[in-house]
Structure formats: structure tokens, C-alpha cells
Amino acid sequence: MVTLAVNELGRVDVLVNCAGTTDFIPFQDLDAVSDEAWQRLYQVNVVGAFHCARAVRAAMLAVGEGVIINVSSVAAQLGQGSSIPYCCTKAALDNLTVSLARTLAPQIRVNGIAPGFIEGRWTQDGLGEKYSGIKQAYERTLPLGRVCQPRDIADGIVSLITGSKLVTGQTLTVDAGMMIAGFQVKFD
């Protein structure tokens, strides 16, 4: 992937690690959380991001700068979301963001973005028939009165890329105020 980008475009300036996966498992159902689920989520949500960052490092250092953005989730801080393994892997991704920021500075800045509830097919497919009720519950209680749209997350990512060159090791929360609302939605 990196070789193709360098051959076709001449350089790599930005990497957005946005691949992610989950299993929708009620928190109370500890027996439903398999070792395979832990391993799969960790491999995709954390190890995959590490491999991609490592892969672009040389290309970014060759031009003297670069930006890596890891897409996390407010689930990392709230301990609420689709499943316990998901929350834990996103918390690990936040730690990877800080670790890589220290390691790759000063040439490469590494930051994260932590979305809240995002309206869309992926969330709808995962929540099934509960989707509309959960979305409406959030919209009634979030300080900004609506859930995130994919565009809101994209805007946050662009701001981390094009904004201050002195921001690294940070995770920007884009959640319409979910972190400050104190509202918890049950996913079971």
C-alpha cells in the first residue's frame, strides 16, 4: 500500500487509521465474549493501526514530516458501547496514539479522534431494531441535540491534519457532548 502510494503520488503525507470492527455483545453477558472476539477486535483495532503506522514511517521521514490519525471512540473513556472488548481495544488505541506520538516526534505528529454515536448503516446494522430508540434517546439528551454524522468526524480529522502543527499525542472528542452529558444507553 505504501509503496504504491509513493510510486503513484511521490510521497505519503497523511495516514488515517480508520479500519475498525466490533461485536455487539451486551456487557452483562460475559460468557458471550469469546477469546476469538478479543483477538479479532484487538488485531483489527490496535495491531492493524500499529502496522500501518510502522509502514508509513520511512516514507514520512523521507520527506521530513507526516501526520497519523487514529480513529478511536468515546467508548474508550466511557466504558460503554457495543461490547467490552470494543471499549478495551479503543482504549489501547488511545494509548498507541500517545506512544507513537512520542516515538515518531518531531517529524511525525500522531493524534486520534474519538467519535460518539455515529448515525449510519454500520451502527444501524449492529443495533438492529434498537437503533432508532437509542439514536432518539441520545438526541434528546446530548447537549448539542444531535448525534454525529460521518461528515462531523471527517471535519475533526481534517482539523487535526491542517490545524496547529504543535498538536501531537492528543485525542479529539467529537461527540455532540456525549462525554459531558452523563447519559448511558443500554445496548442489550
| Ramachandran sector of residue 145 (left: φ over 0; alpha: ψ -120 to 50; beta: rest) | left
- To the query of whether residue 131 is one of the catalytic residues in this protein, the response is no
Given the residues 42, 86, 131, 138, the one annotated as active site:
86
Q: How many residues belong to the chain?
A: 188
Cell digits of residue 104: 515518531
Q: Phi, psi at residue 61, to the nearest 5°?
A: -65, -30
From CA 5, how far away is CA 78, in angstroms rounded? 37
Burial class of residue 28 (count of CB atoms within 10 Å of its CB; 0-12, 13-18, 19+): exposed
The closest alpha carbon to 156, from 175, 135, 169, belongs to 175
CA 71/CA 76 separation, integer angstroms: 11
Catalytic center residues: 86
